[in-house]
Amino acid sequence: MRKINVFDTTLRDGEQSAGVNLNFQEKLEIAKQLERLGVDIIEAGFPASSQGDFASVQAIARTVKGSSITGLARSLERDIETTWEALKDSAEPRIHVFIATSPIHMQYKLKMTPEQVIENAVAAVKLAKKTFPQVQWSAEDASRSDLPFLAKIIQAVIDAGATVINLPDTVGYTTPYEIGQMFGYVSENVSNIDRAILSTHNHDDLGMAVANSLAAIQNGAGQVECTVNGIGERAGNASLEEIAVALNIRQDHYKADTGLVLKEIKRTSSLVSKLTGMVVPNNKAVVGANAFAHESGIHQDGVLKNKETYEIITPELVGVSSNRMVLGKHSGRHAFKEKLMELGFNGTEEQLQKTFVAFKDLADKKKDITEDDLFALMTEATVGSSVAHYELETLQVNYGTTNIPTATITMKLPTGETVQEAATGSGSVEAIYNTLERVIDEEVLLTNYRIQSTTAGRDSLAEVYVTVKYDGTESSGRGTAHDVLEASAKAYINAVNRTINRKQFNEQRTNPLNV
């Protein structure tokens, strides 16, 4: 059975999804969960792109030791040196350096000749190899590159010290047959290819990212690059969970496996979904809500007689448990802590106590507390809140079919002062947001609002995700509460606090090398 290395780029390529805005603590939490999942390589970010990215990559490199941490770099001396500063304290410093190789990219984006591109790539790899034991080189837009040129530049960068060669379908253009041909050509026409691992990285613009990844593995790729839930720029990336489960279920066909801890898949998917605000579609393969649901009577009858009639993947394989009650209002702190540990909680005692208080409050309102409820409370306590510049103290909403909705809010300001404001709106949520804008005393433009429940039933927790433009910056926020309106207020305040935190961080960090 051939081992396929999993290169997860959720924190780099995945975070480039429109509307996704992860902060420092959220990135670290996702990285720790990816480590529990058993990911071989975590691409933690693009250190030279911003001070915030540098700090996140550095913190992940210093914290996560069970996975190799890497950072993206252009073929520029500054990028490579900055990436080393961010990653030098990791267990296995690794860099991912790239340059475009397709005719259209070389001519219009780089404005370089093929010879200049080879020279630039070789120089970058040689510089990176001076400090990094592992150097991955990527041929951006490889799937639209001329194969003889691709073979020539790969030969050169391997001689320069590259240990991994990535051939990405950057724009999601290729097909399974074509990507198989490309990997086959490189394997046959690059004489030193045995000194490097071939990697595949595919986008989903034509809906073939997973199929292309599997075809590349069949044709020699020893590493697959993917994201949790398939998130990423445009239509997204190849889905980690779909590739991992496909290789596991069809070992007879692919003769390869990732070695991931598959029972951590559902938990990883849920965490990424909650922190990015990107909902997993119900019909999403492996992790969607309907992935193990059987509506058809014929299917139900077959599954009752023998699950294998219609269920090729068991829910338990990927960590999906029944939505049964796991704790109640009489559960003690010890049992509560043990259950959170089972769910992957690794927060502080203060965060544990905060989650326990929230749990007791919820148990007074909701009879059945499920794992999904606990996961939501746990996420909110550990990574769900920013430094609280603005804090919600009380919220009162008056609403009636013949009355004008009015919200009255008591808030604690960054100065420590407590103020109370009221405002009206065409609906309850608008009244709340008009009141909050009065308190903040600056324009806050709401650009996106979405609400969902953690579980089925009228007593479910509400999760609200918003995107706002505040102080010249677009920021996302989220809030969780038993009450929809309270969750809406929390999400709005969270977005504003995140903007302030980011602004203060940038003011404190003037040089990324000093982070």
Q: Is 391-509 in CATH node 2.40.50.1020?
A: no
Q: What is the pTM of this model?
A: 0.88
CA–CA separation, 169 and 215 (whole Å): 12
Residue type, 412: K
* Percent of the chain whose predicted confidence (pLDDT) is above 90: 71
In tens, the pLDDT along 68-120 reads 999 999 999 999 999 999 999 999 999 999 999 999 999 999 999 999 999 99
In tens, the pLDDT along 287-328 reads 998 888 755 554 455 645 666 676 889 999 999 875 455 677
Please count the helices (runs of H) and the strands (runs of E) in the chain. 17, 16
Total Cβ atoms within 10 A of residue 41: 24
CA–CA separation, 291 and 280 (whole Å): 11
pLDDT over 50 (residue 259): yes
In tens, the pLDDT along 193-248 reads 999 999 999 999 999 999 999 999 999 999 999 999 999 999 999 999 999 999 99
What is the secondary structure of 427-470 as a DSSP string? SHHHHHHHHHHHHHTS-EEEEEEEEEESSSSTTPPEEEEEEEEE
Residue type, 48: A
Question: Residues 196, 163: contact at Cβ < 8 Å?
Answer: yes
**Which of 489, 432, 483, 433 is CA-nearest to residue 462?**
483
CA–CA separation, 432 and 418 (whole Å): 17
β-partners of residue 203 are 237
CA–CA separation, 371 and 340 (whole Å): 9
Question: Residues 215, 256: contact at Cβ < 8 Å?
Answer: no
The pLDDT of residue 510: 46
- Please, what is the average pLDDT of the chain? 91
pLDDT over 50 (residue 47): yes
The pLDDT of residue 511: 45
CATH topology of domain 2-276: TIM Barrel (3.20.20)
Task: Give the residue, 458 or 422, on which the prediction is more confident.
Answer: 422
Segments in 219-348 forming alpha helices (H): 240-249, 251-254, 265-276, 297-305, 333-342
CA atoms within 13 A on the CB side of 492: 26
The pLDDT of residue 119: 98
Q: Is residue 237 a known part of a binding site?
A: yes
The pLDDT of residue 514: 34
Residue 369's SS3 state is strand
First-last CA distance in the chain = 43
The pLDDT of residue 503: 80
Q: What is the DSSP letter of 327?
A: B
Question: Residues 87, 69: contact at Cβ < 8 Å?
Answer: yes
CA angle 272, 275, 278 (to 5 degrees): 70
* CA distances to 21, 220, 365 from 200, in Å: 26, 10, 49
Take residue 28 and report the two structure tokens written for it: 């670290």
Q: What is the DSSP letter of 402?
A: T
Question: Residues 507, 43: contact at Cβ < 8 Å?
Answer: no
Domain boundaries, the chain: 2-276, 297-382, 391-509
CA–CA separation, 399 and 407 (whole Å): 9
CA–CA separation, 100 and 115 (whole Å): 13
Q: Is residue 13 a known part of a binding site?
A: yes
> What is the pLDDT averaged over residues 413-427?
95
> What is the pLDDT averaged over residues 456-471?
87
Question: Residues 481, 472: contact at Cβ < 8 Å?
Answer: no
> What is the pLDDT averaged over residues 444-460?
86
pLDDT over 70 (residue 501): yes
CA–CA separation, 46 and 514 (whole Å): 16
CA angle 203, 384, 267 (to 5 degrees): 55
pLDDT over 50 (residue 513): no
Q: Is residue 89 a known part of a binding site?
A: no
* CA distances to 404, 405, 406, 428, 484 from 400, in Å: 7, 7, 10, 10, 16
Q: What is the DSSP letter of 378?
A: H
What is the secondary structure of 166-214 as a DSSP string? EEEETTS---HHHHHHHHHHHHHH-TTGGGSEEEEEEB-TTS-HHHHHH
Question: Residues 273, 20: contact at Cβ < 8 Å?
Answer: no
Take residue 432 and report the two structure tokens written for it: 């709340």
* Percent of the chain whose predicted confidence (pLDDT) is above 70: 93
The pLDDT of residue 164: 98
Question: Residues 473, 50: contact at Cβ < 8 Å?
Answer: no
The pLDDT of residue 294: 55
For residue 345, name the pLDDT band (cuts at 50, 70, 90): confident
Task: Give the residue, 366 or 495, on which the prediction is more confident.
Answer: 495
The pLDDT of residue 308: 64
Count, residues in the chain: 515
> What is the pLDDT averaged over residues 448-461?
84
The pLDDT of residue 489: 97
Residue 379: partners with Cβ closer than 8 Å, 6 or more residues away: 271, 274, 275, 480
Q: Is residue 253 a known part of a binding site?
A: no
